[in-house]
Amino acid sequence: MSAKVVVVGSANMDMVAFAPKLPAPGETVLGTRFEMACGGKGANQAVACARLGAETWFIGRVGTDAFGDILLQSFQEAGVRTDFVQRDPETPSGVALIFVDETGQNEIVVAPGANGRVSREDIDAASKVWDNAKALLVQFEIPLSTVGYAIGEASRHSAIVVVNPAPAPREPLPEEWFGLVDVWTPNEREIEGLTGIAVTDLESAESAAKALLDKGAKAVVLTLGANGSLLATHDFTRHFPAFQVQAVDATAAGDAFAAALTVKLAEGAPLEEAVIFANAAGALACTKVGAQPSMPTRDEVENFLRSQTLP
Ligand code: RIB
């Protein structure tokens, strides 16, 4: 039977412009093409969890606009349960403006819209969702007070709590979170926001992960883009090199990673096995354009892993 995972977070319609290079401040760059795709860190992670085989429930908000219809349809096509997704009559659906350069790197600005109104009441309205839930996965594109409330509820129901602290928070996180969260999955910029330590190489990555452990984190899985990921706990630290793929768009690679890690942990896998599975899912997400369209299936990840020399 598949493990039950709850994702609380954002859903955005992504407007993606591709260009040879990302614009500098004040610069206009002529692009090559434009695409729209369903996105939002929370929604991407929920779609990925479902494609990776978890029974996935999403809690969040979309508007009553056409984007809201499309975002809901994308959840349903992936098999995500949307019983607790609110349609907000007062605020439009979230939108993300994304630039992608020819190496696949991106820059993103999110206009949160309805995501900014995901509330404690929305979590309370979904109180039944915790029955048999094995894990909660959250990110920071909805109000932090709601994230904290969801963490508390999940912890009270003995679910594993995974926090993808994206985008980097602009305020210090409440100290009590550290005792409740099982695994943190920041990227380089996010861990710098959390610890003040800039990640420039493996040594500084280890220092930043250690600083987060010193704040009370139980386990940190730091994603390092083309350099793979670093797992740090109070007992050991291990670097996992990235799988080599032809990257066309890194958008949502971190979402695929966080989702895959959460699904494996929800199934009872040990952390190191979950990180290898997540590295593969993150790598595969870079090989396709768009956020949700690039979230890999379970078969794709397992076939890919069979074709690789594992660390
Ligand atoms: O992580 C990628 C996502 O960030 C995009 O889908 C965009 O919507 C923003 O939320």
* 23 Cα: distance to centroid of ligand 1 (angstroms): 19
Task: Check pLDDT > 90 for residue 76.
Answer: yes
Residue 114 lies in a domain: yes
Query: Closest ligand 1 atom, CA of 94?
Result: 8
Residue nearest to ligand 1 atom 6, measured at CA = 39
In the prediction, which pLDDT does 13 show? 98
In the prediction, which pLDDT does 311 show? 79
105-158 pLDDT per residue, tens? 999 999 999 999 999 999 999 999 999 999 999 999 999 999 999 999 999 999
Indicate the range of 80-84, 167-171, 303-307 predicted with least confidence.
167-171
In the prediction, which pLDDT does 187 show? 98
Instruction: Find, among 19, 36, 145, the residue nearest to 93 by Cα.
Output: 36
Residue 273 lies in a domain: yes
Task: Check pLDDT > 90 for residue 252.
Answer: yes
Contact 106, 99 (CB under 8 A): yes
The helix (H) or strand (E) run that includes residue 125 is helix 120-125
Residue 184 lies in a domain: yes
Query: Closest ligand 1 atom, CA of 12?
Result: 8
Give residue 101's pLDDT band: very low, low, confident or very high (50, 70, 90).
very high
Residue 222 lies in a domain: yes
Residue 147 lies in a domain: yes
Instruction: Find, among 175, 174, 207, the residue nearest to 191 by Cα.
Output: 207
Query: What percentage of the chain exceeds 70 in pLDDT?
Result: 100
Give residue 304's pLDDT band: very low, low, confident or very high (50, 70, 90).
very high
Averaged over 290-305, what is the pLDDT?
Answer: 98
Averaged over 240-265, what is the pLDDT?
Answer: 96
* 309 Cα: distance to centroid of ligand 1 (angstroms): 30
- List active site positions: 255
Average of per-residue pLDDT values in the chain: 97
CATH of the domain at 74: 3.40.1190.20
In the prediction, which pLDDT does 309 show? 85
Averaged over 87-115, what is the pLDDT?
Answer: 96
Averaged over 4-33, what is the pLDDT?
Answer: 97
State whether the beta carbon of 108 lies less than 6 angstroms from ligand 1: yes
In the prediction, which pLDDT does 310 show? 82
Residue 195 lies in a domain: yes
Task: Check pLDDT > 80 for residue 1.
Answer: no
Report the C-alpha gap between 136 and 45 in whole angstroms. Answer: 11
Number of domains the chain contains: 1
State whether the beta carbon of 252 lies less than 6 angstroms from ligand 1: yes
Give residue 291's pLDDT band: very low, low, confident or very high (50, 70, 90).
very high
Averaged over 47-72, what is the pLDDT?
Answer: 98
Q: Which domain holds residue 183?
A: 4-21+33-306
Averaged over 275-302, what is the pLDDT?
Answer: 97
Evaluate if pTM is beyond 0.85: yes
Residue 27 lies in a domain: no
Q: How many CA atoms lie within 13 A of 26 on its CB side?
A: 0
State whether the beta carbon of 141 lies less than 6 angstroms from ligand 1: yes
Residue 190 lies in a domain: yes
Report the C-alpha gap between 276 and 305 in whole angstroms. Answer: 9
Instruction: Determine if the peptide bond prior to 167 is cis (ω within 30°).
Output: yes
181-240 pLDDT per residue, tens? 999 999 999 999 999 999 999 999 999 999 999 999 999 999 999 999 999 999 999 999
Residue nearest to ligand 1 atom 10, measured at CA = 40
- Distance spanning both ends of the chain, measured CA to CA: 28
State whether the beta carbon of 290 lies less than 6 angstroms from ligand 1: no
